[in-house]
Amino acid sequence: MKYYKDTNLNVYAYDDEQLAQVTRLTEVESLLQEKEPNFIEVSQSVEKAALELNDAKLQLETVIDSFPSEGEETDIDNHEEIQRLTLAVEEKTAKLNEATIVFNQIESEYQPLKDEFDAILPVFFEIRENLKNM
């Protein structure tokens, strides 16, 4: 046990395990502050790529739906606009897949830290504040 006295002469006792947890809390906070902006950025990148893909799919569906009914002669597979939009959907799908791969890698580093931080009991935050005040 280690004993600490604040300016009001209140005595606090903490064992090595509690002090180690407070040290780890500070480390985890620092790591989260370092990794969180990148995590948020790649998360937004995935969301943007998904929205772009959905927009491209909707545009393609709209063009396909605007074609005349079966009774009229049309060659939907050779239509230039459909080919362009199909290519756009493929490109947007590839972009989403790439963004998802990067996100998964960043998340695999960030999420365990976030889970560890969330699991820290509030008492350790109090201990840290007590130590700061002494």
| CATH number where 83 lies | 1.10.287
Domain count, the chain: 1
Instruction: Report whether pLDDT(132) > 90.
Output: no
Place 106 in a pLDDT band, splitting at 50, 70 and 90. very high
Which percentage of the chain shows pLDDT scores above 70? 92
90-96 contacts, C-beta under 8 A, 24 or more apart: 92/49, 92/52, 92/53, 92/56, 93/53, 95/49, 95/52, 95/53, 96/46, 96/49, 96/50, 96/52, 96/53
Q: Structural domain of residue 66, as residue ranges?
A: 2-132
Convert the pLDDT of each residue in 55-100 to its tens digit. Answer: 999 999 998 888 766 555 556 666 888 899 999 999 999 999 999 9
DSSP state of 72: S
pLDDT for position 13: 93
Taking Cα atoms as reference points, which of 41, 45, 20 lies closest to residue 96?
Answer: 45
